[in-house]
Amino acid sequence: MSSAFHAQTDDQSEVVNRVIVMYLRCLVGDRPKSWLQWLPWAEFCYNTSYQTAVKCSPFHIVYGRDPPTLCSYQQGTDRVATVHKQLIARDEFMEDIKNRLLQAQVTMQSTHDKHRRSVHYEVGDWVG
């Protein structure tokens, strides 16, 4: 549990919170008025993403199986215009959020790399 007055949480919760905040920033960027309708898709993206710490997805941890795959929408396979619009919007959103998350990952990696220095040792450098 954490609060504004007692902000002690474990490191894992802090990492998850940062990831969720990153997802929400990607969502809210161009959609400040409609972000709430896309929130379930952000949850789906997080729950089905591979986590290196546990070597599987959160979905797999909870349900014991791999998450379902989403089939991409093939135009002309529906008979209802509303379904067509929703599936087109879903596919566009999923592609957009994927690109934004990759962009955020690259930004985080470059920020992290700024604090690292490259050190190379030659065989002759060792004092024996």
Please give the residue range of the domain that contains residue 17.
11-101
Q: Per residue of the chain (128 residues), give pLDDT as tens.
A: 555 555 566 677 787 778 777 777 777 777 778 778 777 877 887 888 888 878 898 899 999 999 888 777 777 777 788 888 888 888 887 788 788 778 878 887 888 788 777 777 776 655 55
pLDDT at 63: 93
Tell me which long-range contacts 65-72 makes (C-beta under 8 A, separation of at least 24). 70/94
Cα–Cα distance between 77 and 88 in angstroms, integer? Answer: 12
Domain count, the chain: 1
Cα–Cα distance between 44 and 74 in angstroms, integer? Answer: 21
**Does 15 fall in a domain?**
yes
Of 22, 30, 56, 27, the C-alpha closest to 41 is 27
pLDDT at 60: 93
**Does 31 fall in a domain?**
yes
pLDDT at 52: 81
pLDDT at 107: 83
Give the SS3 label for residue 51: strand
Give, to the nearest 10 degrees, the angle between helix 11-28 and helix 35-48: 140
